Amino acid sequence: MKKSASKGPRLGLVSRRDGMVLISTLLILASVSLIALGMSSDTTSEVRIAGNRKQFEQAFHLADGAADMGVQVILDHMDDAVDPEEDYPDTSTFTLLDGKLYLQNFRLDADLYADIQGYADNDNEADPANGRPDVAFSLTAPPDTTFAAIDVSIDIDRLGANYVAGSSIEFAAGYEGVGKGAGAGSVAVYLAVHTRTNPQANSALTSEVTTVYRKVSHVIGGGQ
């Protein structure tokens, strides 16, 4: 009887120890779960940040490249040999890289030539920052590529014009280039080219680039 009475407290002590071990194990598992959840959340955030950064870089590079395209549009409208209505892409899908990149919904503003020439019916003051773009299109790619579809707009505004300083007569030099043109009374026309790109899947992301182009008359390709 004494032996059996002495075993009771030992069994209770063992049970309490087992319960403490179980609780400790559960606490450890809970801690590990919280750490794993935090790491998973960090990984998801990093993936989203990387994706947004990639879209931003694509949008910026396209906006920067669209500035060069805007300059070419200016030169085309100043060249009688080019007819934008005939030579430019139509409004449907135009293949840039077969199976990889396409140009869609290409549009030209009806007042684009007036904007470039500075005529009275131009809309320069009405759209100083892409409110009514002169050129607009979309770049798209197949779903299995990493390229995100982007809308691109280009707005061209004539800023003013003045005579080019200096001349070949004044310096008895500059037989070629801008100096020669200035001797014949060259005029420098300044035009602002505003470009804007916006990924279709992320309306909150926008990239804008503004450059100033100088077109010098009487000089072939006279621009800066």
pLDDT in tens, 43-68: 666 666 666 677 778 788 888 888 88
Q: Is residue 47 part of a domain?
A: no
DSSP-based three-state secondary structure for 119? coil
Q: To which residue do tokens 């505003």 refer? A: 194
105 within 8 A of 91, measured Cβ to Cβ: yes
Same domain, 109 and 175: yes
223 pLDDT higher than 50? yes
Structure tokens at 46: 């990093």
Sign of CA dihedral 199, 200, 204, 209: positive
Same domain, 119 and 12: no
Same domain, 131 and 66: yes
Q: What is the pLDDT of residue 178?
A: 47
Q: Round to whole Å and give the CA distance between 186 and 158.
A: 17
Distances (CA, A) of 153 to 106, 111, 126, 146, 179: 10, 15, 16, 22, 35
How many Cα atoms occupy the beta-carbon half-sphere of 73 within 13 Å? 31
Same domain, 29 and 80: no
Q: Could you give the strand order of the β-sheet that contains 207-216, starting from the edge strand earlier in sequence?
A: 94-97, 101-108, 135-140, 150-163, 187-199, 207-216
Query: Comparing 27 with 57, which gets the higher pLDDT?
Result: 57
Number of structural domains in the chain:
2
Same domain, 108 and 8: no
- CB atoms closer than 10 angstroms to residue 121: 9
Same domain, 87 and 182: yes
202 within 8 A of 214, measured Cβ to Cβ: no
Same domain, 65 and 6: no
**% of the chain surpassing 70 pLDDT:** 56
DSSP state of 203: T
pLDDT digits (tens, 9 = 90+) for 201-212: 777 788 888 889
Closest-CA residue to 158 (of 187, 184, 178): 187
197 pLDDT higher than 70? yes
Same domain, 75 and 159: yes
Query: What is the pairing mode between strands 187-199 and 150-163?
Result: antiparallel
Name beta bridge partners: 188.
162, 216
How many Cα atoms occupy the beta-carbon half-sphere of 74 within 13 Å? 31
Q: Round to whole Å and give the CA distance between 184 and 222.
A: 14
Q: Is residue 43 part of a domain?
A: no
Q: Is residue 159 part of a domain?
A: yes
Same domain, 73 and 170: yes
Q: Is residue 100 part of a domain?
A: yes
- CB atoms closer than 10 angstroms to residue 56: 16
pLDDT digits (tens, 9 = 90+) for 100-133: 788 888 888 888 888 888 777 666 655 444 457 8
pTM above threshold 0.85: no
Domain range spanning residue 179?
58-216
Same domain, 93 and 145: yes
Q: What is the pLDDT of residue 169?
A: 41
Same domain, 110 and 14: no
